[in-house]
Structure 1
């Protein structure tokens, strides 16, 4: 005959069961609320969507900006292309552009944003991509030291799992407060962020140590894990296969300061040239594409007043680069119309 559990044992089991059920109930209730509120306005629930960007960093704001149907063109990259003003591209090309660049990202994060944008724009008119040193890793996973919310721009299972974190719960509350505020602040809808003032406040352009760093020459050897092979070529081919043939694709090799160019004939120069050649080869699979070359001794690259550091240029050079990008887009679209 089975022995009966002691009363205290049965009471403990009942208590644990009650606690677990309560936790499950609270988790389900929170998840339901979070899905309804959609804290980062991904569009999975539009009941509380107001079509405005709540002030936040570009890592999370890109979920709303990337799905906004108002923008038929997108700029995707990191801080090396972030000073390209979308309104200027719009004025020069007639295509409404959005900036989806996110600082400190590489190809993995950027292609995730491209996928998200294409998911919500079946036939975009133009896409601008930026290929910098982060694209030249020999690791096909393109690891990053900085976190990125892939779950925001992923499928439903990843999204639901992503909501089960403290930061998402905080943002759910923050968004409710923002929605209830009649004088709520809004961020730029097109993603434009002029970060010049941030750099200037840190002493760039004035601090002697930072000026000295700008003039430091790079060595002849490639950076670790940047000597090849370059798997970004295969990844880019895969991504471009999803881009409609009639979409103009401009790939930018952003300028670097002259001192950041490796010595001519060095292994590093050969590796960087080989990486760019692989990217060019991959880009060629798209019928309406071209490159805007900011490397290879760009004529403005020797002016220290145009750079904060060796890879971040200032607004005057950004405006010149914007003009080049716009000319390339107009030329591609004209070619397509012929």
Structure 2
């Protein structure tokens, strides 16, 4: 029987339709599987949730840690507040704390983490936020050079869109393997990560070049794109309005090494002080709030043995800072009960 042009066209059309339906079926099947497995354990599907944190970076681990109901207090920021040990804050305040800091993030990413945490903790017992130089950028979008999985902490449309990325597909497979392994490794549920070893392994505190960089003074002029005005004030007020008035909020101006402080009276000194002043003013709109300011010339800031570089302090100073944060939280809670 001869094949007519019309029948050939119908055959090709049927094949193309079959191919498209197959591709669509595979796509829908993968997406359904990914939603079911929930590769980063966001809680959108709890069927395979195991109440443990799979080893991963803090950028993605914030999804599972931030929704954990066991932790009614949170520390949010970047590596400048990451050495605040949550278990120590818990011992000193009686509040179960989780460390949600994500390295190399600024206000945009940190407020996304805060939003996620507040979605799952309507009445937090306490919040600790780190306000470093990234808060003083003059771009209201607070752009970052490093990627951040906003989709992971967003609504369903963003989440579904994020799942079709190749890294998410890889994590879907990785999590499935982790779930099936009876001896799977877990990460700290409270997010504690002491990164001292990482810095020491890179020669900080030993390498002459790194020691010299620590002692290099900053100039008198403001950092690029940090000269004001400061959009952080308006943004921070909006975030604070979402936090219950009885929740203590402590803002930390984290320590920097003395050489990172600008010359007194210089344009940079005035600009940085003005930014911190605006953060303080915004914070004052919250009924239960306090500032822990380590930019006020404390003796510890002059000790090079307490710093890796000009903005990253070591664990001994971190412990001192932890105590001061805890004291502020206890004081605020006492005031709210009087």
TM-score class, shorter: over 0.9
The answer for the alignment partner of 1:230 in structure 2 is: 230
Matched, 1:159 2:159: yes
Question: In 1, distance between residues paired with 2:36 and 2:163?
Answer: 11
- Aligned pair count reads 335
The answer for the alignment partner of 2:193 in structure 1 is: 193
Residues 166-221 of structure 1: per-residue CA shift (max 9 Å, x gap): 11111111111111111110000000000000000000000000000000000110
Q: Which runs of 5+ in 1 are unaligned?
A: none
Matched, 1:134 2:134: yes
Residues 72-110 of structure 1: per-residue CA shift (max 9 Å, x gap): 100000000000000000000000000000000000000
How many Å apart are 1:23 and its aligned residue?
A: 1.0
How many Å apart are 1:49 and its aligned residue?
A: 0.3
Question: In 1, distance between residues paired with 2:81 and 2:122?
Answer: 24
Question: In 1, distance between residues paired with 2:15 and 2:220?
Answer: 68
The answer for the alignment partner of 2:44 in structure 1 is: 44
The answer for the alignment partner of 1:22 in structure 2 is: 22
Residues 201-249 of structure 1: per-residue CA shift (max 9 Å, x gap): 0000000000000000001100111000000111100001010011000
The answer for the alignment partner of 2:168 in structure 1 is: 168
TM-score, scaled to structure 2: 0.98
SS in 2 for 1:127: strand
SS in 2 for 1:301: helix
TM-score, scaled to structure 1: 0.98
The answer for the alignment partner of 1:65 in structure 2 is: 65
The answer for the alignment partner of 1:91 in structure 2 is: 91
Question: In 2, distance between residues paired with 1:170 and 1:256?
Answer: 39
Question: In 2, distance between residues paired with 1:227 and 1:204?
Answer: 30
Question: In 2, distance between residues paired with 1:19 and 1:81?
Answer: 52
SS in 2 for 1:192: coil
Alignment RMSD: 1.0
The answer for the alignment partner of 1:313 in structure 2 is: 313
Q: Which runs of 5+ in 2 are unaligned?
A: none
The answer for the alignment partner of 1:109 in structure 2 is: 109
